[in-house]
Amino acid sequence: MIVSLACVLLGFGAVVWAVDGPGQSLDPNDVIAGKRLFRADDWTATGLTCLHCHADFNEKKDPDGKVRPSHSLFNAGYRTIFNKWDRKNTHSLDEAIRACSVRWLTKRQETGNIGVEPAQHHLRQLIAYLRSGDMIQEFKAKSIEPMWIDKIPSDRMLKMGDATIGFRLFRRSCEGCHPSDGTGPAPSLVRNGYSRYQIAKKIRNINNPGINGLVMPAFPLDRLSDRELINVANYVFQM
């Protein structure tokens, strides 16, 4: 009885340690492989990488001049709740990464703007990286709620933007996926022919059918404000 109780206590202790511990149980080779996968496009079918949408560093302390559509994953590996692009939550990091991979990275299926399931070893390696010492300073980091919005400013407001400010915002938030030489994972926007209204709808992902099974990720308000949207839409309109 005492022995089995001790086993239960030890077993429980080990579980808590594995979840809360500073990552000793991670295979260092997985961490290295995961770090590479995070920024490499040779394993994705769409040319997109995790780094196109998420920083893997502390954006406040070490900004790189970019504001990506989604949140930094620094300190995110041990959260208890994760936000997915479909605005639902999950308690599983595995599930959060899977959702992004199916939506944006893996080989496209015939319909629905989704891809196939990612490989198990890719998931394992990415999780190891997100939970490694490089990425974790706090174990109890709170999750960041994206401020999703389904409305765009009126036509009158959309005409009041400043394309010079918009150019800087374009460099900051769009060019990573839309370089003008056409070498990016998303089309060049030079002479794109869209109205300001259509550009604004793309940015907030309103009624967007996508292209070739891929949909541009929405920028929530906390990544691009309405004022910024108005300015960047004016720049893209006259590109």
Which residues lie near ligand HEC (CB under 6 A)? 48, 50, 52-54, 69-71, 73, 76, 79, 82-85, 93, 96-97, 100-101, 104-105, 126, 143-144, 146, 173-174, 176-178, 185-187, 189, 192, 194, 199, 202-203, 208, 210-211, 214-217, 219, 224, 232, 236
CB of 52 to ligand HEC, least distance (A): 4
**Sequence-ordered strand ranges (E) for 64-133:** 82-83, 89-90
Q: Which residues contact 82 (CB under 8 A, 6 or more apart)?
A: 76, 89, 90, 91, 92, 93, 95, 96, 143
CB of 75 to ligand HEC, least distance (A): 9
CB of 139 to ligand HEC, least distance (A): 14
Using the minimum distance from each CB to ligand HEC, give the nearer residue, 9 or 233.
233
Distance CA 227, CA 210 (A): 25
Distance CA 66, CA 176 (A): 9
Closest CA to 113 of 217, 219, 209: 209
Distance CA 211, CA 193 (A): 16
Using the minimum distance from each CB to ligand HEC, give the nearer residue, 21 or 41.
41
CA angle 142, 143, 146 (to 5 degrees): 145
Using the minimum distance from each CB to ligand HEC, give the nearer residue, 21 or 188.
188
Using the minimum distance from each CB to ligand HEC, give the nearer residue, 5 or 214.
214
CB of 188 to ligand HEC, least distance (A): 8
Using the minimum distance from each CB to ligand HEC, give the nearer residue, 31 or 48.
48
CB of 85 to ligand HEC, least distance (A): 4
Using the minimum distance from each CB to ligand HEC, give the nearer residue, 6 or 55.
55
CB of 5 to ligand HEC, least distance (A): 37
Closest CA to 94 of 68, 56, 128, 44: 128
* Contact present, 118 and 109 (Cβ < 8 Å): no
CB of 2 to ligand HEC, least distance (A): 42
Using the minimum distance from each CB to ligand HEC, give the nearer residue, 13 or 91.
91
Q: Residue 115 forms beta bridges with which residues?
A: 108
CA angle 162, 165, 170 (to 5 degrees): 115
